[in-house]
């Protein structure tokens, strides 16, 4: 059985490097550090990408973002100093090791950002000659020294490149003996999941003797090379145990593993997408565990206190039961008690304590040192003080019972208080866990633009500025899609992914709000505005002869269709997607159906940044308690970028959340081309 994946394999790295090569030409916009994860933001003309780097674990393109970026460590500040704004010119895998090298060009100077995903791996920035300029952690090891100013040296390679693999390598593994899977993995330096897939395809059990491969060396070589070639093809697979637990990610079709172990398989478009999903789920679990661990000591203390309080309460209740029983017995058999006491007193005086038992009725034992006789009343032993009166004893027993009853009441209150504190702590832990999970969420490619999804699931995207208007039309508009624009100079160019079908009037009006709300009409304080739409075939970037079109401007030919009087009334809401918050905008009724809480905005006087901060508080306060952590995980910057401009909050309310926040129809090929 293969082990749960904790870090990428050399085959994963080969697949990721092939994908990352598609990012060449983009520039490093910025680099961040969040809880052990280095996040690179790359931007280019009309496109952007993010790369996640966790030394010792993974490096891949990511569509997730993490909120809460704090003060960057010196390593990040140093990397920014050298390559912020630099262009990515190459991506390589060093040999067949788990090392990714990203080459950046900054004003003619070359720099290498190296990410090691092997055990105790580091992230290193070197110059063109290999001198270390920055690294996340300085280390001195027996085979290399990693510190600033030293020359970077990779760890000794242990994996044979599949294209260099020969029958002699397999023969050496056979000669070493042992189990087939262990021997091949150790000799070739290949991960267990690759070796086991190869053995499954060859019909050999992993626990069989490696001798089973003798005479089949050529088949082993060809099978491993085939798996390597598959790893360089688009696509990847997530493997789950039969119980549904995520186990690993592989860049090849794991048909052998699935058949042998009964694994469940989920395919993905790319290795980065699969790694993204797998490791982000791991990150969520780790964040959740950390959130709970922070209060675990307090929880254990309260549980111990609760256990003590409950035991004490049980003891008191037993004592109360015993006292009340004895008092009742004594009261009901007062004559027998008097008879026994009078006899015991006479016998003690005349003959001594030792003559009481056997000579006095009902007396079964004596305790001279305590002045006690034990009488048997209705089969129950009852202690009587030889110096006291039975009536007084009954009163005393009831008095002691009353005192214990008071203690029991106090004990019950103490137990209730501890139980309440424990419940509050459990709730606090759950809230922290929800917030930890909410911090990590997937960011889709269209979120770089203004966007909304209509009632019928049609995506509408609009440019945030002239450059993005240019990008939206150039990259996404075609004859099967719709172009929209508010009837005012200075509005987003909006593309509706209609895919050749004219949308219902409701969807057109919903999409029209995107260009209307983010146009200059909002800034002007207008109440409504007309929006026109045409098919993509009616839009051109070519101006009439002798004329010039500014950046972000277009020529529209033919009949224009109008959506009249689009009200400038924009709802901004927060929906939940796999427990992570998603900020959505649109008409109030649409947003209400898809959000847990929302606000309605109209043009006003409040500064967008200040409004975003206030809006975050208002939304969090309005949300249900268990959903509040998700709302609080949204940064005010994310809210700010969805606010059209100076605004006024009309009202804040809870949403219905009867639909997902992004019920998007599949855009075939669209996600795959965007990184």
Would you place residue 434 in the very low, low, confident or very high pLDDT band (cuts 50, 70, 90)?
Answer: low
176 and 222 co-located in one domain: yes
Is a pLDDT exceeding 70 seen at residue 106?
yes
Q: What is the pLDDT of residues 523-545, one digit of tens each?
A: 999 999 999 999 999 999 777 77
Contact status, residue 570 vs residue 585, Cβ threshold 8 Å: yes
258 and 280 co-located in one domain: yes
For residue 46, the model assigns a pLDDT of 66
Helix (H) or strand (E) holding 504: none
State mean pLDDT over 261-281: 90
What are the DSSP calls for 288-355, one per residue? HHHHHHTTHHHHHHHHHHHHHHHHHHHHHHHHHHHHHHHHHHHHHTHHHHHHHHHHHHHHHHHT-GGG
Helix (H) or strand (E) holding 133: strand 132-135
Would you place residue 672 in the very low, low, confident or very high pLDDT band (cuts 50, 70, 90)?
Answer: very low
Instruction: State how far the Cα of 161 lies from the Cα of 448, in Å rounded to an integer.
Output: 39
Contact status, residue 482 vs residue 550, Cβ threshold 8 Å: no
Would you place residue 329 in the very low, low, confident or very high pLDDT band (cuts 50, 70, 90)?
Answer: confident
Instruction: State how far the Cα of 36 lies from the Cα of 33, in Å rounded to an integer.
Output: 7
Residue with structure tokens 């980065």? Answer: 272
Q: Where are the alpha helices (DSSP H) in 546-666?
A: 588-594, 608-622, 628-632, 636-640
- Could you list the residue range(s) of the whole structural domain that residue 128 is in? 10-146
Helix (H) or strand (E) holding 445: none
State mean pLDDT over 392-419: 86
The answer to whether position 303 is within a domain reads: no
Query: Coil, strand or helix: which one is 127?
Result: strand
Start-to-end C-alpha separation, the chain: 34
320 and 403 co-located in one domain: yes
The pair of structure tokens assigned to 496 is 């509706």
The answer to whether position 429 is within a domain reads: no
Residue 57 CA to its chain's centroid (Å):
17
**Count: domains in the chain:** 5
Q: Which residues pair with 653 in a beta bridge?
A: 598
Contact status, residue 505 vs residue 455, Cβ threshold 8 Å: no
194 and 140 co-located in one domain: no
**Could you say which DSSP state residue 362 is in?**
T
CA distances (Å), 662 to each of 231, 315, 444, 460, 573, in order? 32, 58, 10, 12, 12
Would you place residue 635 in the very low, low, confident or very high pLDDT band (cuts 50, 70, 90)?
Answer: confident
Is a pLDDT exceeding 70 seen at residue 440?
no
The answer to whether position 434 is within a domain reads: no
Would you place residue 119 in the very low, low, confident or very high pLDDT band (cuts 50, 70, 90)?
Answer: confident
The pair of structure tokens assigned to 529 is 């505005």
The pair of structure tokens assigned to 647 is 């605004």
Is a pLDDT exceeding 90 seen at residue 435?
no
State mean pLDDT over 377-400: 86
* Backbone angles phi and psi of 544, in degrees to 5: -60, 155
Q: Where are the alpha helices (DSSP H) in 34-107?
A: 74-83
Burial class (CB in 10 A: 0-12, 13-18, 19+), 613: middle
Nearest to 10 by CA among 137, 143, 164: 164
Is a pLDDT exceeding 50 seen at residue 96?
yes
Which string of b and e fits 162-187 if b means at least 16 CB within 10 Å? beebeeebbeebbeeeeebbbbbbeb
Nearest to 459 by CA among 668, 265, 184: 668
Residue 428 CA to its chain's centroid (Å):
18
Residue with structure tokens 């009261």? Answer: 331
Helix (H) or strand (E) holding 598: strand 597-606
17 and 74 co-located in one domain: yes
Q: Of 412, 434, 468, at which residue does a domain stop?
A: 412
CATH number of the domain to which 88 belongs: 2.30.310.10
The answer to whether position 159 is within a domain reads: no
Instruction: State how far the Cα of 541 lies from the Cα of 564, in Å rounded to an integer.
Output: 26
For residue 443, the model assigns a pLDDT of 75
21 and 121 co-located in one domain: yes
Nearest to 469 by CA among 420, 405, 515, 516: 515
Is a pLDDT exceeding 90 seen at residue 218?
yes
What are the DSSP calls for 27-40, one per residue? EEEEEEEETTEEEE
The pair of structure tokens assigned to 672 is 């795959």
580 and 554 co-located in one domain: no
CA distances (Å), 584 to each of 134, 361, 595, in order? 40, 90, 8
Q: What is the pLDDT of residues 577-627, one digit of tens each?
A: 878 899 999 999 999 999 999 999 999 999 999 999 999 999 999 999 888
Q: What's the pTM value of the predicted model, to 2 decimals? A: 0.61
The answer to whether position 57 is within a domain reads: yes
Residue with structure tokens 């991506």? Answer: 91
Q: Of 292, 318, 333, at which residue does a domain stop?
A: 292
183 and 201 co-located in one domain: yes
The pair of structure tokens assigned to 441 is 């969420």
142 and 14 co-located in one domain: yes
For residue 159, the model assigns a pLDDT of 87
Q: What is the CA radius of gyration of the chain?
A: 38
Strands (E), 136-206: 139-140, 145-146
For residue 405, the model assigns a pLDDT of 87
The answer to whether position 158 is within a domain reads: no
Burial class (CB in 10 A: 0-12, 13-18, 19+), 300: exposed
The answer to whether position 629 is within a domain reads: yes
123 and 18 co-located in one domain: yes
Share of the chain above pLDDT 90, in %: 63
Instruction: State how far the Cα of 585 lies from the Cα of 461, in Å rounded to an integer.
Output: 12
502 and 543 co-located in one domain: yes
Instruction: State how far the Cα of 469 lies from the Cα of 426, in Å rounded to an integer.
Output: 49
* Backbone angles phi and psi of 552, in degrees to 5: 85, 5
Query: Please, how many CA atoms are within 13 Å of residue 137, restricted to the half-sphere of its CB?
Result: 12
Instruction: State how far the Cα of 359 lies from the Cα of 356, in Å rounded to an integer.
Output: 5
What is the sign of the dihedral through the CA atoms of 174, 180, 184 and 185? negative
Would you place residue 675 in the very low, low, confident or very high pLDDT band (cuts 50, 70, 90)?
Answer: very low
601 and 549 co-located in one domain: no
Instruction: State how far the Cα of 449 lies from the Cα of 339, in Å rounded to an integer.
Output: 100
The answer to whether position 439 is within a domain reads: no
For residue 669, the model assigns a pLDDT of 38
What are the DSSP calls for 564-580, one per residue? EEEE--EEEEEEEETTE
Q: What is the pLDDT of residues 503-517, one digit of tens each?
A: 999 999 999 999 999
Query: How many residues can be counted in the chain?
Result: 675
């Amino acid at each position: 059985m293969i082990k749960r994946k904790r870090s990428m394999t050399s085959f994963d790295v080969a697949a990721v490097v092939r994908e990352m090569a598609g990012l060449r030409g983009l520039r490093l916009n910025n680099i961040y550090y969040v809880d052990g994860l280095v996040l690179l933001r790359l931007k280019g003309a009309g496109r952007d990408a993010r790369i996640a780097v966790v030394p010792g674990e993974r490096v891949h393109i990511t569509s997730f973002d993490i909120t809460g970026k704090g003060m960057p460590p010196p390593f990040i500040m140093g990397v920014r100093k050298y390559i912020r704004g630099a262009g990515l010119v190459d991506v390589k895998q060093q040999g067949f090791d788990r090392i990714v090298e990203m080459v950046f060009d900054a004003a003619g100077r070359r720099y290498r950002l190296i990410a090691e995903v092997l055990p105790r791996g580091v992230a290193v920035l070197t110059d063109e000659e290999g001198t270390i300029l920055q690294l996340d952690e300085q280390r001195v090891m027996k085979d290399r020294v990693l510190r600033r100013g030293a020359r970077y040296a990779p760890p000794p390679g242990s994996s044979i490149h599949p294209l260099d693999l020969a029958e002699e390598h397999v023969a050496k593994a056979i000669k070493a003996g042992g189990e087939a899977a262990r021997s091949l993995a150790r000799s070739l330096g290949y991960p267990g999941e690759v070796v086991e897939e190869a053995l499954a395809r060859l019909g050999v059990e992993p626990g069989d003797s490696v001798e089973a491969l003798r005479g089949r060396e050529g088949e082993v070589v060809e099978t491993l090379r085939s798996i390597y070639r598959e790893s360089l093809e688009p696509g990847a697979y997530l493997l789950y145990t039969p119980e549904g637990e995520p186990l690993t990610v592989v860049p090849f079709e794991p048909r052998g593993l699935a058949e042998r172990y009964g694994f469940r398989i989920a395919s993905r478009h790319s290795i980065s997408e699969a790694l993204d999903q797998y490791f982000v789920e791991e990150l969520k679990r780790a964040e959740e565990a950390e959130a709970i661990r922070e209060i675990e000591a307090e929880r254990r203390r309260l549980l111990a206190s609760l256990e003590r309080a409950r035991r004490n309460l049980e003891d008191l209740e037993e004592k109360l039961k015993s006292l009340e029983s004895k008092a009742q017995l004594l009261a009901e058999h007062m004559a027998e008690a008097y008879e026994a006491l009078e006899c015991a007193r006479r016998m003690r005086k005349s003959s001594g304590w030792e003559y009481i038992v056997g000579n006095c009725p009902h007396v079964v034992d004596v305790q001279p040192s305590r002045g006690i006789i034990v009488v048997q009343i209705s089969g129950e032993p009852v202690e009587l003080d030889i110096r006291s009166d039975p009536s007084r004893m009954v009163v005393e027993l009831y008095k002691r019972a009353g005192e214990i009853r008071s203690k029991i009441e106090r004990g019950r209150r103490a137990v209730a208080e501890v139980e309440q504190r424990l419940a509050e702590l459990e709730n606090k832990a759950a809230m922290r866990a929800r917030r930890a999970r909410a911090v990590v969420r997937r960011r889709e490619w269209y979120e770089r633009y203004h966007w909304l999804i209509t009632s019928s699931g049609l995506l509408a995207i609009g440019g945030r500025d002239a450059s993005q208007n240019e990008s939206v039309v150039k990259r996404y508009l075609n004859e099967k899609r719709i172009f929209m624009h508010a009837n005012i100079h200075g509005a987003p160019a909006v593309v509706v992914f209609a895919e050749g079908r004219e949308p219902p009037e409701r969807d057109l009006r919903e999409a029209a709000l995107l260009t209307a709300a983010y146009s200059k009409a909002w800034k002007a304080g207008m109440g409504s505005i007309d929006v026109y739409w045409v098919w993509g075939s009616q839009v051109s970037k070519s101006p009439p002869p002798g004329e010039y079109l500014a950046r972000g401007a277009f020529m529209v030919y033919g009949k224009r269709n109008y959506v009249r009087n689009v009200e400038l009334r924009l709802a901004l809401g927060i929906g939940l997607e796999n427990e992570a918050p998603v900020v959505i905008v649109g008409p109030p009724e649409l947003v209400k159906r898809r959000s847990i809480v929302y606000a309605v905005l109209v043009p006003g006087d409040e500064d967008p940044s200040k409004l975003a901060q206030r809006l975050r508080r208002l939304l969090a306060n309005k949300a249900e308690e268990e959903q509040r952590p998700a709302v609080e995980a949204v940064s005010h910057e994310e809210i700010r970028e969805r606010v059209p401009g100076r605004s006024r909050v009309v009202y804040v309310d809870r949403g219905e959340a009867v639909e997902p926040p992004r019920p998007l129809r599949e855009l075939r090929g669209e996600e795959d081309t965007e990184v």
